[in-house]
Amino acid sequence: MKLRYIAIGLNTLLLMLCVGFFVGHGLPKSLILWGSAVLWFVAPLVNLAFIFRLNKKNRCNSFPL
């Protein structure tokens, strides 16, 4: 269970860093920066969705996460 909480915390931190990028620097002007910002935002969301989906699906089973 501890690894699950660490993963949730790190993904939340990554989302806050992505939001902080836009707050601090404004909207990116380059296509490369837009692609990077989208990946920074989508990857943690997918990870969190996967973690919470596994939690619901394997509630009865003993899973190391």
11 lies in a domain?
yes
- DSSP letter for each residue of 4-33: HHHHHHHHHHHHHHHHHHHHHH-S--SHHH
65 lies in a domain?
no
Q: What is the pTM of this model?
A: 0.70
If we measure between CA atoms, which residue out of 24, 5, 16 comes closest to residue 40? 16
63 lies in a domain?
no
Report how far apart, in Å, the C-alpha atoms of 65 and of each of 6, 40, 53 are.
Answer: 10, 23, 12
Find the domain containing 14 and state its range.
Answer: 2-57
Q: How many domains does the chain have?
A: 1
When pLDDT is cut at 50, 70 and 90, the band that residue 52 belongs to is confident
64 lies in a domain?
no
pLDDT in tens, 6-40: 999 999 999 998 888 889 988 888 999 889 888 88
